[in-house]
Amino acid sequence: MNSSEQSKERSNLSVSHRFGVDRTPLYKPGLPIELVAREKGMDPSKIIKLASNENPLGPSPKAVEAVKVALNDLHRYPDGGAWELTHKLAEQSGLSANQFIIGNGSNEILELVAQVFLEPGTNAVMGEYPFVVYPIVTQHFGAEIRKAPMPDLRHDLDEILKLVDEKTRVVFIASPNNPTPHDIPRDEMEVFVQKLPEHVLLCFDGAYQEYLDDPFDPIPSIQNGKSILAVRTFSKIYGLAGNRIGYAYGSEELVALLMRARQPFSVNSLALAGALAALEDVEFVAKCKVLNQQGIAQLKEGFEKLNLEYEAGCANFVLVRVDDTRECCEFLVEKGVIVRSMSPFSLDGWIRVSVGLPAENERLLDSLAEYFQQS
Ligand SMILES: Cc1ncc(COP(=O)(O)O)c(C=O)c1O
């Protein structure tokens, strides 16, 4: 049986689809506030969402102003090459503008990596608890998913190297990781980059990098010819998750290849305007980082009082062990607090909580206290 016959066999569609697409896991996002409000008959303003690692301070105010101005030009196509944004990023980094690609969220760039580099017969290596999009896009393009053990829920770079072979095209690493919140020390990453074979692309995801004090900087290695694509987002510390914009940088050759697979107008003009202004909103970013550090301290103290096991790093979320995740998440939703069960991510017994405003963190801790009192 060939692959299109196999795909037909498993589907009621009369049209064949690419083999394996129907097996690609479906991405399930955190519950939206409106959905919970509708289903539970609650007032949406009374619900707090701590489920998708969003910015509790909202979007960068400078970005909001820029988006308002950009509304007047909605009849025009966006600048497909993102001239202004790539030049601003180049100016800030010392790289050239041709070394940047802008995406519809960093998710689009992760998908482009898979589209360009992965195919049946190849594999992608990642940690045991990877950002969910890595296995999705790997599977989607027919490559093998190889997961390296993460002892103590941390990346073990030697374990990753053990899984790399001549068929490996991409290694996906996020630091800090998600769903586990830990980052990889800068010196460990520097050694790893030297050891990684030349035929492998390192897709280094820095979605939460701005929350770190001393992150690994991929730029010197890129300048020394290493095959690295550093992926970043405006969804987290810049507060632009709804605008859907991220970016990546690497060698000009690598970026040129990815650009061939990208839709010319995948990033809209409001997103471009917002991101450009957000990059300059240094004050806002600094404020968000401090608020996040305070929030993590508040949550840790609260979990300790409740005698709960937790995992926290510098990123804007923490993991906390509650054992019966389904029961606990349902209880919290009834209290108007949306968090994320980690059971679908092979972390049974844990929930992931995004750091909120102080009053939101307090409400989560009070609701958890109530949950453990009654259970
Ligand atoms: C590690 C990591 N990478 C990438 C993303 C995707 O971000 P976006 O597509 O919003 O830029 C996320 C989102 O949660 C993430 O946690």
Q: pTM for the full model? A: 0.95
Distance of alpha carbon 199 from alpha carbon 168, whole angstroms: 8
Fold of domain 61-280: Aspartate Aminotransferase; domain 2 (3.40.640)
Cβ–Cβ < 8 Å for 316, 236: yes
The per-residue pLDDT for 19 is 78
Task: Please give the C-alpha separations between residue 16 and each of 66, 73, 120, in angstroms, as whole numbers.
Answer: 45, 41, 18
Distance of alpha carbon 326 from alpha carbon 350, whole angstroms: 10
CA of 175 to the centre of ligand 1 (A): 11
Q: If we measure between CA atoms, which residue out of 45, 51, 61 comes closest to residue 30? A: 51
CA of 205 to the centre of ligand 1 (A): 8
The two beta strands, 100-103 and 337-338, are unpaired
The per-residue pLDDT for 208 is 98
Q: If we measure between CA atoms, which residue out of 353, 354, 360 comes closest to residue 329? A: 353
Q: What are phi and psi of 125, to 5 degrees?
A: -105, 140
DSSP SS3 for 145: strand
Residue with tokens 């479906």, as numbered in its chain: 26
Task: Please give the C-alpha separations between residue 281 and each of 31, 53, 63, 64, 182, in angstroms, as whole numbers.
Answer: 29, 20, 8, 11, 26
Beta bridge partners, 49, equal 338
Q: Which protein residues are within 6 Å of ligand 1, measured from CB? A: 53, 105-107, 131, 174, 178, 205, 207, 233, 235, 241, 246
Beta bridge partners, 100, equal 249
- The structure tokens listed for 349 are 């017994």
The per-residue pLDDT for 30 is 85
Cβ–Cβ < 8 Å for 351, 325: yes
**Max Cα–Cα distance, the chain, nearest Å:** 61
The two beta strands, 123-127 and 168-174, are parallel
CA of 374 to the centre of ligand 1 (A): 35
CATH 3.90.1150.10 in the chain, residues? 31-58+283-374
CA of 106 to the centre of ligand 1 (A): 6
CA of 167 to the centre of ligand 1 (A): 26
The per-residue pLDDT for 82 is 97
175: exposed, middle or buried (Cβ count in 10 Å: 0-12, 13-18, 19+): buried
Residue 301: Cβ within 10 Å count: 12
CA of 107 to the centre of ligand 1 (A): 6
The per-residue pLDDT for 10 is 63
What are the percentages of helix, strand and coil residues in the chain, rounded to 5?
A: 45, 15, 40
For the chain, residues with pLDDT lower than 50 are none
Supply the residue whose CA is at minimum distance from atom 2 of ligand 1: 207
31-58+283-374: CATH homologous superfamily?
Aspartate Aminotransferase, domain 1 (3.90.1150.10)
CA of 375 to the centre of ligand 1 (A): 34
| E strand intervals along 182-313 | 201-205, 228-233, 246-249, 310-312
CA of 333 to the centre of ligand 1 (A): 24
Distance of alpha carbon 370 from alpha carbon 375, whole angstroms: 9
- Closest ligand 1 atom to the C-alpha of 174? 1
The per-residue pLDDT for 304 is 98
The per-residue pLDDT for 164 is 98
Q: If we measure between CA atoms, which residue out of 279, 284, 225 comes closest to residue 102? A: 279
CATH 3.40.640.10 in the chain, residues? 61-280
- Closest ligand 1 atom to the C-alpha of 110? 4
- Closest ligand 1 atom to the C-alpha of 104? 9
- Closest ligand 1 atom to the C-alpha of 177? 1
Cβ–Cβ < 8 Å for 319, 259: no
The per-residue pLDDT for 375 is 75
Tell me the best of 27, 178, 237 to mutate to test the pocket of ligand 1, counting ligand atoms within 8 Å of each CB and taking the most.
Answer: 178
Measure CA 89 to chain center: 20
The per-residue pLDDT for 9 is 56
Tell me the best of 49, 108, 131 to mutate to test the pocket of ligand 1, counting ligand atoms within 8 Å of each CB and taking the most.
Answer: 131
Beta bridge partners, 350, equal 321
Cβ–Cβ < 8 Å for 205, 231: yes
- The structure tokens listed for 330 are 């349902």
